[in-house]
Chain A
Amino acid sequence: MRVVTLSINGQHLSGRNDESVLQVARAHNIDIPTLCQLDGLSTWGGCRLCLVHVEGNNKLVPACVTNVFEGMVVQTESERLARYRRMIIEMLFSEGNHICSVCVSNGNCELQDAAQSQGIDHISLPYLYPERTVDASHDRFTFDPNRCVLCTRCVRVCDEVEGAHTWDVAGRGIKAHLITDLNQPWGESSSCTSCGKCVQVCPTGALFEKGKGAGEMVKKNEFLVYLEEMRQKRS
């Protein structure tokens, strides 16, 4: 591990060379939008919202999986990045069936937050209106795939933290979707421990506790960082 100095948006900062651009930026209150990334889980690199410019690299790089280096020059905002980020969020809205007004996570949704921060009040892409079936077979939780953005936080937390690997992704491309166990109803899953970690890390209202009405589901995912810290101290 080495300490390095770098510049983000013209601001001179320091970080460790095992830290990502995203970590260093956040430590210095520079906001980079993310959706699939969550502290305490492995990185995924799928949502592409955190793409940034790095001087000397003609490709855009995802801040969540790119480590900082000495003399690195990062630019997290540009007209082009704003356009791309807006399109990514528009794509998510067009892909699922997101109806905020009736959603349990209305007001507490990371997708909604991201859309607001990018100033999105309508989308220019046509809605795809996919047919997706709600799985309410679990005693305590419901999975509504209409609101799923396939960030795979639930898959990762279940595998990496709970160790159950109940969730996974099946299908390809636009047909990719979450499944429990071998595509059984969640309530019949033999691996699920009903710990509810997946529900708490889900950025939208796709996974929620039963009995919550519109706007009532508030996710608490801070436990992840504590868990990680405690486990590290023990080992």
Chain B
Amino acid sequence: MQTPQHLDAKNGRIVNLDDLKTIAEQEALLKSQLKHRIFVCMGTACQSCQSADVLDSLTREVSTRGGQAECLVTPGGCQGNCAEAPLVVVEPGGQLYRGVAPGDAASVIDSLKTGPVKRLLCDTTAPFFTEQTRLVTEYRGLVNPERIEDYIAVGGYIGLLTAVTELTPDEVIQQVTRSGLRGRGGAGYPTGLKWSTVAKAVSEQKYVICNADEGDPGAFMNRSVLEDYPFRVLEGMAIAGYALGATQGYVYVRAEYPLAVKRIEKAIAGAQRHGLLGNNIANTQFSFHVEVRLGAGAFVCGEETALISSIEGGRGLPCPRPPYPAESGLWGHPTLINNVETYTNIAPIIRNGGDWFAKIGTEKSKGTKTFALSGRVKNTGLVEVPLGTTLRKIIFDIGGGVPEGHKFKAVQTGGPAGGCIPAEHLDAPIDYESLQSLGSFMGSGGMIVMDDTSCMVDVAKFFMDFCATESCGKCIPCRVGTVHMRDILNKITTGEASLEDLAQLEELCDMVKYTSLCGLGQGAPNPVLSTLRYFKDEYMAHIIDHLCPAGVCAGKGQDIRRPACVL
């Protein structure tokens, strides 16, 4: 594409809102010259179903027919219904095709003239699509994640340039505070308060860190957001840098997310090329650099002090707080750590104002939240709803309920520190406080649906095993306590446990919860505590009757004890 003339004079640097407008107009012009745009999702789920081949064959099909001038085939982002990958969207019209094979290319291109391919068509009037509120994923995957122009065309970087050229750092923080945004990593700490604490800290050097060490079983929201909207995460971080007086940022992302790593690295290079990262952003005194740091697969590195230690090159071990990172973080300097999704919310808050954001959600929990819906639910995938939406709406309306005529039993939220919420609480609104009062936790947004084929003791055992494996080993309650709790749960599922064991399990839960050093240990007992609270009968069936009601630990009606050795 042609680069606007005056941008050339600035070596491609974008320094003000007019430059953004020029690019957006250029993109609009390009778009108007095209009759059709075909987006092929290039997220991890779709790529694993050969969407790259689909992209290739569609591109080839268009060029053999000589239609490149009026039909653009481009990589796109996640549509949400990952279970039906690979997904293709045709614009205008917004037809969503699911399960597209490379061999379907001809029919898809034919359809541009003859009408939608019925056998591939997804019903976008279904609640899965209509009941969602897209804010974090607002472009519905209809931007090429590797092209900064695509992002600018949908309003990207207006937030950063407005902040840097028109607002004082204090005014930026005020907008974030007014928005009522709370940390999306799970604990829900008010973002504005965190920012103002770091801003007030006196230091020549401050840091901004993006926590992309998503490790909860069943969670993939951050991965998807990083893959699809890397520029928006960087924009949010740069705005934070401006507001706090930080010049250096780090994206700490797990190495198990190769595509997200590739996209964020590409985006950093792209943003630098256009002067939206680097020295003197918008020709002001403000400079902001971002580097990527890879996590080596330790779950505990999502804990902020362990994450800092890992960036510093040490073992990923948590440290007692206070001092909090806001006061003394990376290399002893004041440090802001926010989750991917928190940063993603920043640009629209600055663009539209904090009050606009505060209108969405509930009184104490503002905005929307993405959830990774998985487990025994019809529509698995990535969904986004306003906070305050009920669990029932997410699981039964958007998620389509439990498949194959099974009965809903519980939904697990909040990862290994979360809990299982039973059917009687399905009408509870999802916000930070109500989930906590139900014995669970917002967490980063994993949501695992379970039906009558799931044994709740087995579920608790799975999470405890996860915590025992992922414990860093620094503090005794977590290092040893999780192993003993796992062993007792093991005994229960094999019918070898007594009521005394159950009492000891409860005692260990209490002790580990209140004496562990960091969130991993403090949260580890939660899956046991919540299943004990709502499904104690299942524990009792294992211990007293030696039966597993769900038929997981042994077949239904069968004794769960191991047969005695006859030799």
Contact = CB atoms under 8 A, between A and B. Distances in A.
Interface in B481-524: 481-484, 487, 504, 507-508, 511, 514-517
Interface in A59-113: 59-60, 62, 65, 83-84, 87-88, 91-92, 94-95
Interface residues of B, number: 31
Interface stretch (A171-179, A190-198, A218-226): A171-179
Interface of A: 43-48, 51, 59-60, 62, 65, 83-84, 87-88, 91-92, 94-95, 124-126, 128, 149-150, 168-169, 171-176
Interface in B161-208: none
Contact of B469 (A62, A124, A169, A172): A172
Nearest to A95: B480
A128 B472 CA distance: 18
Interface string B84-116: 000000000000000000000000000000000
A45 B476 contact: no
Nearest to A62: B320
B468 A173 contact: yes
B473 interface: yes
Contact of B476 (A47, A65, A126, A128): A47
A94 B476 contact: no
A94 B473 contact: no
Contacts of A125: 484, 504
A48 B516 contact: yes
A173 B476 contact: no
Top 4 A-B residue pairs of the complex, sorted by shortest distance between their CB atoms: A176-B473, A173-B471, A91-B480, A45-B320
Given A171-B473, A172-B473, 16 more contacts: A45-B517, A46-B517, A48-B477, A48-B517, A51-B515, A60-B515, A65-B320, A88-B477, A91-B484, A92-B480, A125-B504, A126-B484, A126-B487, A173-B478, A174-B468, A174-B479
A59 B521 CA distance: 14
Contacts of A88: 476-477, 515
B31 interface: no
B511 A176 contact: no
Nearest to A45: B320
Contact of A172 (B320, B471, B475): B471
A83 B514 CA distance: 12
Given A48-B517, A62-B320, A172-B298, A84 B511 contact: yes
A47 B475 contact: yes
A174 B482 CA distance: 9
A94 B470 contact: no
B474 interface: yes
Contact of A173 (B320, B470, B507, B516): B470
A50 to B, nearest CB: 11
Interface string B443-480: 00000000000000000000000001111111111111
B483 A169 contact: no
Given A172-B298, A174-B471, A59 B514 contact: yes
15 contacts: A43-B320, A45-B517, A47-B475, A48-B476, A48-B477, A84-B511, A88-B477, A91-B476, A92-B480, A95-B480, A128-B483, A172-B473, A174-B471, A174-B480, A175-B473
B315 interface: yes
B319 interface: yes
Contacts of A174: 468, 471, 473, 479-480, 483
A173 B517 contact: no
A9 B298 CA distance: 40
